[in-house]
Every structure is written in structure tokens, then in C-alpha cells.
Amino acid sequence: MRAKGLRQSVLSVFLVFLLISAGAVSDLCAQTADQLYGGGRQAFSDKLWPAAASQFSRLIREYPEDLRADSAAYMAAVAYYNAGSYKQSINILAKFPRQYPNSAWNQRAAYWEGMSFYQLKQWAQAESAFERQAAISSDKIYQERALLYLGACRENLNKKEQAESVYEKLVRESRDYETVSQALFRLGQIQLSLERYGEALASFRRILADYTGSDSAADSGYWIGETLRRLGRREEALNVFRSFLESVYTSEYRAAALLEAANLASRTGECEEALAYLDLRNAEMREENPSGISSDPNRSAVMRIRAACALKTGRLEEARSAYMEVLEKPVSEQEAQSAAFNLAQTWLGTPQALEALPYLKQASEGPDQLIAGDASFESAQLLLVSKNPQGSVQLQAFISAFPEHPRREEALRGLVRAHQEAKNSGGALKALNTLIEDYPESGEIPAYRFLRAEIQLQNGNQGAALKDYKQLTEQFKGTAEASDAFSRIGFIFTERGEHMRAAAYYEKAAAQFSAANRSEKKRQAVYSAGVAYLNGRATEKAVEKFRYLIDTDPGGPWGVEAAYHMGEAFYDAKQYESARRAYETAARYGDKNWAFEAAYATGWTWFRQSKWKEAARAFQKAAQIAPGSEKKARSRYRTGLSLASDLQWEKALAEYNEALKAGKTSWREEALYQKAWAFLNLGDREEAFRTAGILEREYPSSGLPADLPFRMGENAMKQQAYAQAVEWFSLCSSKYPNSATGIQSALRAAHASRKNGNIEDAALRYGRWVSAHTREPGAGAAARSWAEVLREAGNPQLADNAKNKVLSFKPSRPDVVVPVMLAWARVNGIPDEAAPYLDSYADNERLPVSDRAEALLLRAHLYRKNAKYSRSRQIYEVLIRDISGPRGAEAQEGLARSYAEEGKINQAIEAYLELPYLFPEEPYYISRSLRAAEKLYRDAGKDNEADELRKRLNEEVR
């Protein structure tokens, strides 16, 4: 929020010095300090801000030791500020206290620094500067200005309570008239924003009372009106706005005041006044800006007010007079009243009935209360019939003025109708409440209560409506309104999604409508119950209700609807044959619209059963009988989908083309996609991507174009045509690189390449994908696939490149980096440089157990490779104990190898022979271990033991 009224001020009183001689052009580069200072002062006084800043800047640059350097620096900063060079001003002022600690200008430097930051909207820095200035009490003017801007900064920093305390301090302590008024104005704004309306009202009213001549006084009138409006005190608010508009013509709030006044005038029935405000507002906006009305941000609000007032406005023509002579010289007031009333009667019932109004008014003001009441009532009725907004006003006046009049109840009913016609539901409810309270014995009480419930329901106040409807069903049993109330209660529960409760009330309603003259309502209630049961997933009960309506009179009220919805019930239950029979009934007895809906729904039953030919025929029939172009086109589109599902691509294309002629429809985007898909399946890539281009242009945010090559790639994957899949996925990722589908396609291309046996290409693709999408959630899984293909490829150069890539990732992601680094270590034979990485991974408890186990296993291998057998066996034994599966088996094999390499043959053989018992589910390692043990036996000359192992191996092979 910007502080209003805080006008920038500049130092205005300085001594005027002579300008530097204009003829001394040749000496400009060698001006003395006096010349620079004098020239700067003169330019400053003449408000030539860039020239002043330049002169002073030269002085402090060329003569830094001059005794006036601090004054020059200060005035240069002020000049830069006034020239709009706020950063340059800040650069000088930020250093000022350090460079000139003893300068008198330090009393004001922080103020101008704060102002510069304020103009740059750097609120926190401005706040700090103003706080420093506010702490200097020796210069009261600058202190109070700083406080005012300090409050504004805190408002912009949303520190409203702190801002409030600053303004309160100013109001409490300042003696400056304008400063206090501005502080009060901002204080009121904060209080209003915090919904402390009473305090805001007091602040704004204090400005008007005590600071009438201030700049804030005029605008305070507007904010008093706005505060009253928010308090709901409309009449007071309108009067305040009226006063504001009559006295203030240049305020920035005038347009808003005109709009609020129009709104309030409209709400209080002063429609002519409201329209006058709107017309005045338009005229003033045109005068200020010729395009102002078209660009008015409140145009919708203006139109709403105009629409509301349009229902109430109207001028009455002057009436002719039948009893003019009598009225010109009546002998008494009572005679004049009677003559006016009778004269009005001559006009009533004729095309010139409105001529009676002035005479009815005159009669309503006469001494006879009965005649006056009748005249007032008839006047109101006439105004209402003629759609005059004053009719309801007059009727209300009659109701208030004649509480005992025999026609008062009728007047209240008329007032209800008038308010309803004017879409004034609040007024209608108010009149109904009066009817119910004042005429509890009236025979129309059920109707009043029902109508009140209806209006409340229309207003969305279901709770109040439900209360009235239930009272009707309990207190006025047997009335037509009570019967209808059951249906309305059912409707409310339907709206709330409580379908079974709704169905129960519809059932009760149907039971009420047993008489012949209520048969249509009975059928409607039964139908509604069926729909409620259907929505509540009680399909059997829904079918029961619908079948009743069909069996009793399929062509009668709600019979066709029942047949159609019975089809929907069977459709939801996947009883498609039964659904089709119900749809046939709806088509037989319904009009062309129902025939179309039934045919279209029938197509869906076949479609859901994957009977594409039958679905196509049903949709074709729907297209033939469709009552409108959109429905016809939609049916053609569904025909195309059915044909495409049956792989009849060319026929499907023909249907898509016909459907797309309908132009913009809700399903056009999908239809263009299906058309392109058909072209792809026909092998016509050019047409497919031309259609996809249309789709992209018409629906730039659509993700469907990218789905075309992606879907082709997935189909190729299903057919194990992996080379084709790579081609399609690559096409998708290159054509739509930034879409989610394009990103996924690049990864799928790597999978397909791997499936195709092109391991090195797969590794490169995985690497590119992970490098480009390190932050993606799927990067970890992709990195594991990358690591797997690196191991499969066994290419040290590929592995080295992968290692360099992952180590360069910023920020580093362990789930991405570690699998690739482990693969690199394996492929390169576990080089010594891998040791620190392996140690780090093995110790990192955040890593998955599998990665830590792999790192530990490779570390053990590296120890063994470097002849540190004892250390390697320590690690192998931990892995054998704690890790199952291939890694555990590999650790057992490593243990045996460490013994063998150390020359401990017996322990090696023993370790090899233990492996089948420790890891019986690892045949690969079992076979390797037994062969290694056999070899060791033979090398040791133990041929019998070796032969036994060979026999065992041969048996396992068999």
C-alpha cells in the first residue's frame, strides 16, 4: 500500500550566487572550488538538478579537502534525488556520515537516503534510514517527515501494527497541522484494513472536524462513507457520499464515490439518483480520458447497477382530468379527495390508466383514511402493473401507513411479487415475513411459507428453506404445499449429494400425490426418486421406479425420461443389452431430441463392449437423426472412434473430417488428435504431423501432439520392434523436448535401445537424459538403468565419461551419482582411485543397503587386489553374514579367492565348498566355486577329491 499525500519536498531556501561566466568556456576544465560551489548553488536554486549535481560532484571530487565539501556532497545527493537519480543519491548519502562525521548535514542525510530508497521501493532499506532520521530530535520538521514515511514503509512491509504506532505517535506529539492530518489519514486507512471500523470512522471524522483545511480533509469524506458502507449503514453512507460529491471535484476517489453512491442509491430505491451518478461518472471519465469508459475496471459493477435500476425506472405522462372543475374549486378537502379518487377511477382499466396516478396520490393525502388507503393501494398497484419502480415504494408506504386497512394483506402479497420481479429477494423475504407474522390465521399461510422457502432456496440458503419445508410437512399436512414440500426437501438433499435421503422424500411426495389431478406430480416424484436412487448407486430400486413409469404410461409425463435413465442405470451396471432395450423405449416414445440421445447412448453400450462395428452403426444412426449440427458432428466423431478401434483407419478419417467441420467444439482437440493418430497408423507421417500442427496452433497448451509419436513408440515396444520404438521415441523427444511426454520419450528411447541390444547407445542415451534432468524425480531410477548398461557394455571409456559427468552435477544427488560410480569402478577393474569413493559410499547410512553393500564388496575386492588379504576377508565375512543374494555369494567367492591368492589352499577350498550351502539360490556362483575348488584340488594333487567334485558338477548339469 502506498502512502498517499506524502509529497516529496526539497530544500527551497538557498542563497543565490552569480552563475559562472558563460564566456569562460575555455576555463571550464579548471574551475576553482568557489566557482564550482557557486555554480552548484545557483543551479540548485534554479532547480536545474542535473547541473547542480554535476557541479557539486566535481567539487567533492576535485577539492575533497575544501571546507564546503560536506555541503557540496549533501546538496549533490539532494540534487540527484530531485533529478530522479536515486541510486547516485544513495551512493553519496550512504558514505556521508563516515566521510563527514562532524557535518551539520548529518542531521538530515538519513532522511534523503530514506527518500531515495522509498522511490526505489526498497522498503526495508528506506525503513532503516527513516528510523535513523526519526531518532534525531534536533530537527523537528525532518523528524516528523521521517516518521510519516517510516509509517508508509512499514505499511508496505505489512507491519501494520508498527506503522500504526508511528502514526499514533505523530498524532499525539506533532504540532504540525498537515503532518497530523496525514498521520490521521494513514491511521484511518490501517484501522479500516484491520476492520476496526469504529476507530477508522473516528480518525476520518477527526480530520474533517479538526483539520478542515488539510490536504487529507477532502478525501476523508470519501473514506467515512466507505467505512459506513462496510458497517452496513447504507443510508448514512449514501448521505456522506452525496455530501462528498457535492463539495469535492478533484479527488482521486471521486469516480469510486460516484459508483458507491449509485450502488447505495440503487439499493435504497433511489434509481433515478443512481442513474444520474452513473451518467455523471461516465461524463467525467470521458472528459479525463476518451477511452476511459471502455477501459473502466468497474464496468461490470456499473452495468449491474444499471440493469437493476432499469427494472424500476419510468416516467408517467400527465393525466387528463375529468373532474378538473371540481378540483379547481373544491368546497372542502374531503370533496377534493373524493373528486380526485373518482377521477382516477375513470382512467383505471383503460389504456391511459397511468393518468390516474396523480389523482390517486392526491386522494391518498386527504382526510378520509379509508379513501386515502384505497387510493394509496391502487396507486401502488397501478405503478406495479406499469413496471414503475415507485410502485413497490408506494406499496410499502401503504403497508406502513395503514396497518389496519382490509387490503393490507393483499398489498403485502403484491409487494412480494414486485420484489420478485425486481429480483430483490431480500425485499420479498421481508414482506413474506411480515405476512407470516401479522396474519397467522390466514388461509394462505401454507402458500406464504412455501414461497418463502422457494426464495430462500433460490438464494442458496438451503438451511432456512429446509426448515420451512419441514414445518409445512408437519404442520400443514394434506395441503398442496405440504405435498410439494416433500419434493423440495428431496431436491435439497440431492443438491447436497445425500441421494438416498433424497429418494426417501421423493417417495413420500409420490405417496401424497394420489388424486387424479395430481398424477403428473406423482409421476415426477417417482421419476425424481428413481434418479436419486440411481445417483445413490441403488440401481435395482432406480430401475423399479423407472419401470413403474414405463409400464403405466411410457409416453406420459416423465415416461421417456424414465426410460432413458433406466438405460443409464443398466449402463452403469454394465448390463448393456438391458440398457439398449431401455434406450429403444425412450426413442420410440420421445421426440427427436430423445431419439438422438437414445441412439447416441446406444452407441456407447456397444463401444463399452468393444463391438466396434455395432457401435459405429449406432453412432451413424445418431448422426442421421441429430437435431443440431454440433450433435451431428459429435456423433460423426464417435463413429470415427469406433471405426478406428476396428482398425478401419480410412473410414475413420472420413468421419473425423466431417466432424471437424463443426468448428470449435468441446471435443475438437481430441478429434484432431485422433485424426493424426489415424494418419500415423496409415503410415502417412506428413499428414499426421500436419494435423498435429493444426492441433498445436489451436490448442497451444495441449499435450496431445507429443502423445502421437510417443504412443507409436509404445506400440512398437509391445510388438518388440525395438528399433522402431527408438525411432519414434527419439522423434517425440526432439520435436517436443520441453513437454513432459517429450522428456519421458527420451528415457523410453534409452530403454528401447537397451532392449534392442544396442547397449552402448543405450548408455549414451541414459547419460544424456540423466544429465539433462538431474532434478527430475525419476533421475535416480534412470541412473540405475544407466549403471546397469554401463556394466553390460563393459566399456571403460564409456564408464570414465559417465563418471566425469555425474561428478560434475550441481547439486550432487547421491541416488544419481552412486550407482554410476559403482558401475565405473567395476568396469575399470576397481582402480585405486576408487577407494575414497567406495569408503564414502559404504559409510553413508542414507544410501540404500544395496548400494552400500556393493561399495563394501568392491572395497574388499580392492583390498584383495592390493594383497591386503586379511582386511579384505574381514569385509567379506561381514557381507556374507549380513547380505543375501548375489552380492553375498560374490563375497563368499571373494573370501575363497583371498585365501587362494595368499597360498592358503585348504582354507580356499573350504570357502569354495561352503558357498552352495550358504547361498543355495545362486547357481551361477555355485558352479564357479565348485570349478575353482576342483582346480585347486588338482593343482594340489588331490585327484580323488577333484573327481568327486567333477562328478557332482556333471550331475548338476544334467
Range 952-958 average pLDDT: 75
Range 427-450 average pLDDT: 84
Give the pLDDT score at 293: 59
Range 329-349 average pLDDT: 74
Give the pLDDT score at 868: 95
Asked if residue 754 has pLDDT above 80, the reply is: yes
Q: What is the mean pLDDT of the chain?
A: 85
Give the pLDDT score at 23: 34
229 and 259 in contact (C-beta within 8 Å)? no
Residue 460 region by backbone torsions, left for phi larger than 0, else alpha for psi between -120 and 50, else beta:
left
Q: Which is higher by pLDDT, 957 or 154?
A: 154
Of 243, 346, 341, 263, the residue nearest 308 (C-alpha): 263
223 and 189 in contact (C-beta within 8 Å)? yes
Give the pLDDT score at 317: 34
Range 851-856 average pLDDT: 94
Asked if residue 20 has pLDDT above 60, the reply is: no
User: How many separate helices (H) and strands (E) can be counted in the chain?
Assistant: 50, 0
Burial of 720 (0-12, 13-18, 19+ CB in 10 A): exposed
Asked if residue 215 has pLDDT above 50, the reply is: yes
Give the pLDDT score at 9: 33
Torsion of CA 42, 47, 49, 54, to 10 degrees: -10
899 and 907 in contact (C-beta within 8 Å)? yes
Q: Residue 300 — very low, low, confident or very high, per pLDDT cuts 50/70/90? A: low
Give the pLDDT score at 11: 27
Q: Residue 490 — very low, low, confident or very high, per pLDDT cuts 50/70/90? A: confident
Least-confidence region, from 71-85, 483-497, 914-928: 483-497
Asked if residue 516 has pLDDT above 70, the reply is: no
Count of residues in the chain: 958
Asked if residue 877 has pLDDT above 90, the reply is: yes
Angle of helix 779-793 relative to helix 814-827, nearest 10 degrees, comes to 0
Whole-angstrom Cα distance, residue 536 to residue 548?
19
Give the pLDDT score at 339: 72
580 and 602 in contact (C-beta within 8 Å)? yes
Of 615, 533, 549, the residue nearest 586 (C-alpha): 549
Range 489-511 average pLDDT: 87
Q: How many CA atoms lie within 13 A of 194 on its CB side?
A: 18
Give the pLDDT score at 407: 82
What is the three-class DSSP state of 196?
coil
Range 655-678 average pLDDT: 91
Express each pLDDT in 103-135 by its tens digit: 999 999 999 999 999 999 999 999 999 999 988
Give the pLDDT score at 642: 95
Express each pLDDT in 813-853 by its tens digit: 899 999 999 999 999 999 999 999 999 999 999 999 999 99
Phi first, then psi, for residue 225 (nearest 5°) are -60, -45
Express each pLDDT in 367-415 by its tens digit: 888 888 888 887 877 777 777 777 778 788 888 888 888 888 788 888 8
Express each pLDDT in 611-632 by its tens digit: 999 999 999 999 999 998 999 9
- Cis check: omega of the bond before 101, within 30 degrees of 0: no
Burial of 931 (0-12, 13-18, 19+ CB in 10 A): middle
Give percent above pLDDT 70 in the chain.
92
Which 8-state DSSP code applies to residue 354? Answer: G
Of 431, 337, 450, the residue nearest 384 (C-alpha): 431
Of 79, 110, 107, the residue nearest 94 (C-alpha): 110
Range 145-174 average pLDDT: 91
Instruction: List CB contacts of 850: < 8 A, sequence separation 6 or more.
Output: 887
Entry pTM: 0.52
Asked if residue 923 has pLDDT above 70, the reply is: yes
Asked if residue 287 has pLDDT above 50, the reply is: yes
Whole-angstrom Cα distance, residue 677 to residue 708?
6
User: Which domains, ranges and CATH numbers included, belong to the chain?
Assistant: 334-442 (1.25.40.10)
Q: Could you write out the DSSP letters of every residue in 668-692?
A: HHHHHHHHHHHHHHTT-HHHHHHHH
642 and 607 in contact (C-beta within 8 Å)? yes
- Cis check: omega of the bond before 737, within 30 degrees of 0: no
Give the pLDDT score at 6: 38
Written as nine digits, the cell of 833 is 582411485
Least-confidence region, from 3-12, 86-95, 550-559, 583-592: 3-12
Whole-angstrom Cα distance, residue 861 to residue 851?
15
Give the pLDDT score at 2: 38
Q: Which is higher by pLDDT, 522 or 655?
A: 655
Give the pLDDT score at 381: 78
